[in-house]
Structure 1
Amino acid sequence: MSVSALVRITRPHNAVVAGLTALLGYLIATGTLTPPSLLLAVVVVLITAGGNVINDVYDVEIDRINRPDRPIPSGEISLSGAKIYTMMLFAGGIAIAALTTTLCLAIALINSAILIAYAVWLKRVPAFGNVAVAYLTASIFLFGGAFAGIEGLIRNISLALITFLATIAREVLKDAEDVDGDAAGGARTLPMIIGVRGTGILAFACACGAVAASILPVGDWWGPFYLAAIGVVDIVILFGASRGVRCTTPECVRKSQATSILRAGMFAALAVFAVAAVV
């Protein structure tokens, strides 16, 4: 069991980005960063890493076929070793979360449970897997804000709602792109149930909800600059989602680049919130 394999199985890039996102959540809630807030990043990195490892544990049979180079199927890490590693990562993250606030600890515990449930069965359940991913992504901002107390959490509600709804829109459109491959592999996703066109309509409805959430006056940063900047971002989000509405085939969704545009809109929204919070 090499150190390299232990690092790679956690998907470090993904985990570190999630940790930095927690710090961004605290910055947006308070307008500043403090040395103790660095604990937030450590907690999120460890718990995200734990979620990534347990995903590989439950996907090992699929990975033996599709990704035999990954640490478990390649034999670099044993299945039992990966399970122990997962428990250590989750335990470490929760232990450090206990040094923050009660709200942060509660979110850390809930998210750990959802990450485990997602790996075990949620990701195979149509719609529920998409909702779980969207919640986990959005909750990082709530976690960051919660370090400043309930007031900080409330200040981040708007951003969390935007992230939650825009992520659902992007996730279901990604599933629509992959309908043919998923069907061949025996998977059952939401677009297989409601159709590609229905999925596009659902994604657009979620994007509209994200736009509505973006104008909620719940933070000190809410003002002329924020409204002008977020208005541009809202146009991008709606434009991206609208490109998926007209599609009736997976190929059309792929060519529309709707998911890429939505992703760009989400990153732009983060930038607007961060700048507005600081200035």
Structure 2
Amino acid sequence: MLKGYLKIIRPANSVAAGLAVLLGVIIATGTIPPASLPLIAVVFLVTAAGNVINDYCDSEIDAINRPERPIPSGAVTKKGALVYSVILFAAGIAICLLPFVNPLCLAFAIINSAILVLYAKTFKGMPLIGNICVSYLAASIFLFGGAFAGIEGLMQNTVIAAITFFAMLSRELLKDAEDMEGDRAGGAKTLPMIIGVPKTGKLCLVLAIAGIIISLLPLIKFWGPCYLILIAVADAIILFAVAKGARAADSKALIDSKATTILKTGMFLATAFMLISALLF
């Protein structure tokens, strides 16, 4: 039973999300203050809670498609999963009540917890809205880390958050376009199924360009020649990826283009280069 409760939180993903918040702290402050370390636990717990509530809401579908998952396999009961998610959400939010944690962090923890619940219950099945939720939640990890240092720290992380949001949204939509046939067979309804692969690719190109433009604006304290040279490399890879996606006529062509894999590389480099620039500054 304990194994089931561990598996359902997807520990690897939750730990990765927790550690990612430190990037936001570094970009905001140039260092990792000891008082910021509890933020790792907050993101871990809220992410874990989101994974649990997601499995709770998908339990009937998983009973058919993913019977090995904790709830359909019987390792975790539905009621147990619901209680578990509430405890995890509450624990994550409670840490934000510590006196040395900025109230902005508490606001993010509450809002993101609500979005995770709404996503699992409703938004996941809505074309584009579900993609926006996933992209925001990924980007908000940096905003949360920046919020530790107050409004100024939050603003320092808007650039990496914007790059993450637009690149992630582009990737999410391209992946939906790749999986269109399987999603149709499974009864899902995604944006590419409504507007088609070519229009989806062009939309992703526009979204990525928006992120690239924001990345080049003088909005951060370490904006300068070094940052611009580094971020230009990541931007070029992101643009190359979405341009390949925009040229795809159908799902097969999109898969063959490897656009989503290249885009993921560009996103990773953008994050790494932002971190390097912040540390050099």
Shorter-chain TM-score tier: over 0.9
Q: Quick one: distance in 1 between partners of 2:19 and 2:127?
A: 30
Q: Quick one: distance in 2 between partners of 1:225 and 1:131?
A: 31
Residue 196 of structure 1: aligned partner: 197
Q: Quick one: distance in 1 between partners of 2:218 and 2:8?
A: 41
Amino acid at match of 2:161: A
Residue 44 of structure 1: aligned partner: 43
Q: CA deviation at 1:266?
A: 0.5
Q: Quick one: distance in 2 between partners of 1:35 and 1:102?
A: 17
1:26 lines up with 2:25 in the alignment: yes
Q: Quick one: distance in 1 between partners of 2:171 and 2:204?
A: 7
Q: Quick one: distance in 2 between partners of 1:61 and 1:206?
A: 34
Deviations 1:102-138, CA, capped at 9 Å, x for gaps: 1010011000000000000101000000000011000
Q: Quick one: distance in 2 between partners of 1:31 and 1:68?
A: 46
Q: CA deviation at 1:5?
A: 1.2
Residue 245 of structure 1: aligned partner: 246
Q: Quick one: distance in 1 between partners of 2:222 and 2:257?
A: 34
Q: Quick one: distance in 2 between partners of 1:89 and 1:256?
A: 40
Tell me the secondary structure at the aligned position of residue 187 of structure 2: coil
Tell me the secondary structure at the aligned position of residue 73 of structure 1: helix
Q: CA deviation at 1:35?
A: 1.1
User: Structure 2 matches for 1:125-274, cutoff 5 A?
Assistant: 125-274=126-275
1:10 lines up with 2:3 in the alignment: no
Gaps of 5+ in 1: none
Amino acid at match of 1:161: A
Q: CA deviation at 1:152?
A: 0.1
Q: Runs (4+) of structure 1 moved beyond 2 Å?
A: none
Amino acid at match of 1:224: P
Residue 55 of structure 2: aligned partner: 56
Q: Quick one: distance in 1 between partners of 2:5 and 2:102?
A: 30
Amino acid at match of 2:29: T
Q: How many pairs were matched up?
A: 278
Residue 121 of structure 2: aligned partner: 120
Q: CA deviation at 1:39?
A: 0.9
Q: CA deviation at 1:216?
A: 2.0
Q: Quick one: distance in 1 between partners of 2:151 and 2:219?
A: 12
Tell me the secondary structure at the aligned position of residue 170 of structure 2: helix
Q: Quick one: distance in 2 between partners of 1:269 and 1:64?
A: 39
Q: Quick one: distance in 2 between partners of 1:31 and 1:130?
A: 31
Tell me the secondary structure at the aligned position of residue 37 of structure 2: helix
Q: Quick one: distance in 1 between partners of 2:3 and 2:188?
A: 32
Residue 95 of structure 2: aligned partner: 96
Q: Quick one: distance in 2 between partners of 1:217 and 1:6?
A: 46
Amino acid at match of 2:145: G
Amino acid at match of 2:61: I
Amino acid at match of 1:51: G
Q: Quick one: distance in 2 between partners of 1:118 and 1:22?
A: 21
Amino acid at match of 1:166: A
TM-score norm. by structure 2 comes to 0.98
Amino acid at match of 2:10: R
Tell me the secondary structure at the aligned position of residue 29 of structure 1: helix
Amino acid at match of 1:216: L
Matched residues, percent identical? 54
Q: Quick one: distance in 2 between partners of 1:109 and 1:101?
A: 13
Amino acid at match of 1:247: A
Tell me the secondary structure at the aligned position of residue 70 of structure 2: coil
Q: CA deviation at 1:86?
A: 0.3
1:77 lines up with 2:103 in the alignment: no
